[in-house]
Amino acid sequence: MATNHPYKFCFGPWNISEGADPYGPTTRPPQTFDWKLEQLKKLGFDAMMFHDDDAVPDIDTKSAVQIRKEAKELKKKLDDAGLVAEMVAPRLWFSPMTIDGAYTSNDPKCRRYAIDRSRRSIDIAKILGTDILVLWLAREGTYLREAKKGRRSIVLMVEAFDQMLAHDKKIRLAIEPKPNEPMDHAYLPTIGHALAVAQLTRDPKRVGALIETAHCILAGLDPADEIAFAMSFGKLWSLHLNDQNGLKYDQDKPFGSTNLRGAFDQVRVLEQNKYGSRGEYVCFDVHPFRTTKPEHTLAHLDNSRRTFLRLVEKARSFDETAAKKLIAARDYQALDQMVIEHLLGK
Ligand code: XUL
Ligand code: MN
């Protein structure tokens, strides 16, 4: 294991999931939030990430006063456990008010709901001590092009972001792009889209990105290059590492599970650009396989971190001098084999 690594690790309560899929029910019993928090600590992780209703369950039925009270109770629980909240994300895809999208819904009442709920999420984030609001824009897209106007949708999203930025002078919005699922096509499918839209807001400095490995692969892009792109702008504020086997449903496999070399490339680019040096966390947005037994329900989290740390070692022990010589000689055949043999080890 790498020693003195600068990385801090994180997962969310939804990452200890019960195995339900569209074709079958759960395969593992549910666990309480407190149990999950205890396991996070036992596994040696540093932070938890939250949807707004992970932090305050049934949020839509609660008053602003009640939401604040419960968020404060959670903050105390985290403080007592010596843990922190990495981010809060409004869950804008579950309510009947978000069937046609949230910020881009064709119904103004639904758009209002989405913005109000986002503001409440910002209040929760503030109480939990994080300045990051993650926006996975699940339903901001269409199943059919004719249902919404693409350009108007961008205007609506920018207006919504502006209202969030105005609500709290400190909050930073980290857009988590994903090209599809649940929608046919999403309006902000890649990091390039997210960072371009940031420029249209009232405070571009406070609009950045979160990259998820699986989402890049679903967009047909290389996660390591997407990471490098976001880091070139100083805008990679969070990270969801996992893996994905081709253009399928969003699989959220353990990090490195499908493409170990791709995982190495991601870790290498994080190392080269000192991800984490400004307090950013490495989060694993991974799920147990449906076939996982209840007693193995944490293995995907521990394994993802183990793989990450092993790959940190691999990135640090990669012979950069030899690689440079091969690059200068344009001997990419040898470079390719050098990477493979380095990963295979002795
Ligand atoms: C969805 C996804 C979400 C976000 C948080 O694909 O990755 O879990 O990370 O809302
Ligand atoms: Mn994610």
Query: In this predicted model, what pLDDT tens digit does every residue of 131-166 receive, in sequence order?
Result: 999 999 999 999 999 999 999 999 999 999 999 999
- Specify if 120 maps to a domain: yes
- Specify if 147 maps to a domain: yes
Among 315, 259, 252, 257, residue whose Cα is nearest residue 283: 252
Does residue 279 carry a pLDDT above 50? yes
Cα–Cα distance measured from residue 66 to residue 174, given in angstroms and rounded to the nearest whole number = 26
261-272 average pLDDT score: 98
Is 305 buried (19+), middle (13-18) or exposed (0-12) by CB count in 10 A?
Answer: buried
- CATH of residue 192: 3.20.20.150
Among 88, 178, 182, 71, residue whose Cα is nearest residue 131: 88
- Specify if 136 maps to a domain: yes
Q: What is the three-state SS of 72-136?
A: HHHHHHHHHHCCEEEEEECCCCCCHHHCCCCCCCCCHHHHHHHHHHHHHHHHHHHHHCCCEEEEE
Ligand 1 mutation pick, 117, 139, 285, max ligand atoms within 8 A of CB: 285
**CB-defined site of ligand 1, < 6 Å:** 51, 89, 134, 136, 176, 178, 212, 240, 250, 285
2-24 average pLDDT score: 89
Cα–Cα distance measured from residue 74 to residue 127, given in angstroms and rounded to the nearest whole number = 9
- Specify if 151 maps to a domain: yes
* Domain boundaries, position 228: 8-318
pLDDT tens per residue, range 98-134:
999 999 999 999 999 999 999 999 999 999 999 999 9
Nearest-10 Cα torsion for 177, 179, 181, 182 = 70
Among 119, 158, 166, 165, residue whose Cα is nearest residue 140: 158
pLDDT of residue 17: 98
Is 190 buried (19+), middle (13-18) or exposed (0-12) by CB count in 10 A?
Answer: buried
Task: Give the ligand at the shortest distance from the Cα of 134.
Answer: 1
Q: What is the total count of domains within the chain?
A: 1
238-259 average pLDDT score: 97
